[in-house]
Amino acid sequence: MLDSDDARGAEAVVSGCEYHGRRAVVKVRPPKTYRHPELDLHIRTTRTRNEARLLREARDAGVRTPCIYDVDMASCSITMEHVPGGSVKDLLDSDPGSAERVCGMIGETVARLHSASVCHGDLTTSNMILTDDGICLIDFSMGCSKASLEDIGVDIRLLERAFTSAHTELSSGFDALMESYYSGIDDPDAVRRKVEDIRNRGRYT
Ligand SMILES: Nc1ncnc2c1ncn2[C@@H]1O[C@H](COP(=O)(O)OP(=O)(O)OP(=O)(O)O)[C@@H](O)[C@H]1O
Ligand SMILES: [Mg+2]
């Protein structure tokens, strides 16, 4: 859900709009004048194209994502379905009691995404919306398809960090999340080892 009419991130501007009578949002990447114009255009178009492609690939894999209505490369914008519901971050902050149930759903969703070799690239609870029919993932601009074990490990490590920084009191929720995640992927031991490896790397650099 949009906090206000405009939710401003570092790169993109998300605003509510209408698309053929449907409630929609438009995510625009305006030019950044501090970047070299050619590089700026490259970053904006690459991220826009990548996000639109991954929203679709994740959806094809059975992960709930906003339906895309239009992509306009000239303005680097994606018009998509407005997904009703609050962010999982806000829910966990305001109602920690919901963690066990919600975390299991997150684990299942991410397992489905990774099983299709799609990595998200910014897997935090701010980029998840709880809808009536499960978790909807948004904000795929930093993700990739044909994900390697390393990409997948980095995704999980990001999620782990989100829980240790933003949801410190929810460690049992995170355990439930990982349990449902590992039971939903093909080679849990390999991912477990990779995440451990990335965690240790972070510790010594
Ligand atoms: N399809 C959508 N339906 C409802 N709300 C949305 C939708 N897409 C984005 N939002 C809202 O806008 C906020 C920002 O969107 P998003 O996470 O995609 O962009 P960002 O983090 O600003 O961008 P980026 O990290 O790609 O620069 C989300 O946290 C969410 O509240
Ligand atoms: Mg975001």
Domain ranges of the chain: 6-81, 88-204
1 touches ligand 1 (CB under 6 Å): yes
Spatial neighbors of 18 by CB under 8 A, at least 6 apart, are 24
Mean of pLDDT values over 113-121: 98
Residue among 40, 90, 93, 122 flagged as catalytic:
122
Instruction: Check the CA dihedral 183-204-151-64 and report its sign.
Output: positive
Ligand 2 centroid to Cα of residue 9, in Å, is 7
Strand order in the sheet with 77-81: 6-8, 13-19, 22-28, 77-81, 68-72
pLDDT band at 107 (very low <50, low <70, confident <90, very high): very high
Q: Supply the pLDDT for residue 171.
A: 83
Ligand 2 centroid to Cα of residue 141, in Å, is 9
Spatial neighbors of 140 by CB under 8 A, at least 6 apart, are 50, 51, 54, 55, 58, 65, 120, 121
- Which superfamily is assigned to 6-81 in CATH? Phosphorylase Kinase; domain 1 (3.30.200.20)
pLDDT at 4 over 50: no
Q: Supply the pLDDT for residue 205.
A: 61
Distance CA 156, CA 192 (A): 9
Is 88-204 a CATH 1.20.120.160 domain?
no
Specify whether 122 is catalytic.
yes
Ligand nearest to the Cα of 9, by number: 1
